[in-house]
Structure 1
């Protein structure tokens, strides 16, 4: 009888130990809300909706997108950082957060979150209104050199587009007048409307307007000409040692459960190998470049050093 009671006691103990494991294996038990800290229509919104629209077969739950734009993406990220770290809120970061932190726009930085996975790499383009007196990059530079400060450039002030535009100024000896907008979609709409001369954009936000003749891609920040825009030269071809890229990754609030982080990382890794997903990303001018939790954290650590070196030229 004593032995029977001992067996029962051990079984009960094992059950108590194993119960949380079984519960962990059930994650996620409900949809995971995705706070995209930029407005509709821009590169982040377009690309992250592709992630959200394709993740359910691998995650087992839907990932509804909530747009929370404002202050260079920091409003939505601040909200995400305050959410309960239970695995049911995710958000997106790119180089803009690191620049905003370095320039004093926000105290938040990537290490205030748990990085889960880098997903996309998006080359940036110099885009101009088609009604302006230049159709090539060489004509654009000649005009800007002859008229310092006359070209109005749409950027996110104190953000990555501002950094990229400043790099173009430095490389080609020109000077812009900056106009700030929240997100790529907003500034591209202003460019199409004739309220700007030029902007930093990407294929996701701009190609439809290039195709219909409203805008012109003058140069790409990709190191090589892209399949989607074979006639657009690279900055390197044009004489500038520039690569203008934005990477986007998924994060959770700091301290999220390990099982949630691991489950989402696994789902994102599987999604990154899905050919339909890859094609959808390529069709909007982005490349899939997955890195898991550890590799993504290492990447962001290295990127911080780069941003600290380059962002000294910026004023938010």
Structure 2
């Protein structure tokens, strides 16, 4: 009987310990086992997981479209997902810019634009500027816009065109696109003393067609958009607008060295909606920096647009944007009066 009673007491003690064992472990501060699948990761840690859209604010065939697409294949490779470019035109690029600005800040909608975003803000076409995005990086620099005329004009230098404009006030017509960088550059021509009329004929390819067709007398375009006409001898390049001669076309003098203050440099950038996580923006910038250092990329942009690779951080990029904006603001009355 005593032996049976002892066995019963031992069993009760074991049951009591088992019943409170879980509480004892919890009270000791031990965490419960993780849920199946582990802890959820932040979205930026797993980005990208689906296709990314690069939004281009101008039509196909121009320098902006070319520079954006020069990165697309490399970005797909570096980021491991499909990266597609789409052209969203209108209002000097502000429609595309707003589309990205208002997109979900998840890293899947990216704007590719250039310095002219400042023009839209200054003239009031857009109520926002580059500061309303999260700048990723500057990924290209124009080798300089080319001031070009038809060969039958007889002009060989800027001075030739300057003198003709003075002798025939207002007769020369320069093709431009209202509210864009080319508009600013055309105003710079006038400020430099050229008596020339501004005519809105549209984007880069439209300007080339208008000049070739004899509807206007002068354009300011990226080299790549007119190189075929230059090589055939149909157009003559009078000057380039960068501060120094481009390595891609060293035989074309700058406007500055010919005595005309027409220097205005254009930088291209990628930007995300303002609240995009910084980790995503940095990862994208790192992919761009790697691509910009590849020989295939360098060969491609030199062959097509006579460009050299150029990369700058977001911090340095804002400095370029601010300098450009200062120039644009000096023409605000002329830009808004047009």
* TM-score of the superposed pair, with normalisation by structure 1: 0.90
Other structure's SS at 2:269 match:
strand
Cα distance, 1:30–1:182 mapped onto 2, change above 3 Å? farther
- 1:134 deviates by 2.1
Match of 2:291 in 1: 271
Q: Tell me, yes or no, if the aligned pair for 1:129 and 1:198 is still in contact at 8 Å.
A: yes
Match of 2:181 in 1: 160
Q: Tell me, yes or no, if the aligned pair for 1:80 and 1:91 is still in contact at 8 Å.
A: yes
Paired residues in the alignment total 312
- 1:273 deviates by 1.5
Alignment counterpart, residue 48 of structure 2, candidates 15, 23, 28: 28
Between the aligned partners of 2:233 and 2:74, the Cα distance in structure 1 is 32
Match of 1:148 in 2: 169
- 1:257 deviates by 2.6
Match of 2:236 in 1: 216
Between the aligned partners of 1:269 and 1:36, the Cα distance in structure 2 is 20
Instruction: Provide the alpha-carbon RMSD of the alignment.
Output: 2.4
Between the aligned partners of 1:89 and 1:45, the Cα distance in structure 2 is 16
Match of 1:259 in 2: 279
- Equivalent residues in 2 for 1:52-131, closer than 5 Å: 52-122=72-142, 123-131=144-152
Q: Tell me, yes or no, if the aligned pair for 1:81 and 1:112 is still in contact at 8 Å.
A: yes
Between the aligned partners of 1:309 and 1:11, the Cα distance in structure 2 is 62
- 1:300 deviates by 2.7
Structure 1: tracts of 5 or more residues without a match? none
- 1:169 deviates by 2.3
1:289 aligns with 2:310: yes
Cα distance, 1:209–1:112 mapped onto 2, change above 3 Å? same
1:132 aligns with 2:153: yes
Q: Tell me, yes or no, if the aligned pair for 2:248 and 2:307 is still in contact at 8 Å.
A: no
- 1:10 deviates by 6.9
Between the aligned partners of 2:264 and 2:164, the Cα distance in structure 1 is 22
Between the aligned partners of 1:164 and 1:174, the Cα distance in structure 2 is 12
Q: Deviations over 1:52-74 (max 9, x none)?
A: 13222222223211111112111
- 1:241 deviates by 3.7
- 1:28 deviates by 0.9
Match of 2:61 in 1: 41
Q: Tell me, yes or no, if the aligned pair for 2:241 and 2:255 is still in contact at 8 Å.
A: yes
> Which fold has the larger relative contact order, with Cα–Cα distance below 8 Å and residues 6 or more apart in sequence?
1
- 1:310 deviates by 4.4
Deviation larger for 45-54 or 5-14: 5-14
Work out which of the two has the higher radius of gyration on C-alpha atoms and give 1 or 2: 2
- 1:298 deviates by 4.2
Other structure's SS at 2:309 match:
strand
Between the aligned partners of 2:65 and 2:201, the Cα distance in structure 1 is 15
Match of 2:4 in 1: none
Cα distance, 1:304–1:138 mapped onto 2, change above 3 Å? closer
Structure 2: tracts of 5 or more residues without a match? 1-20
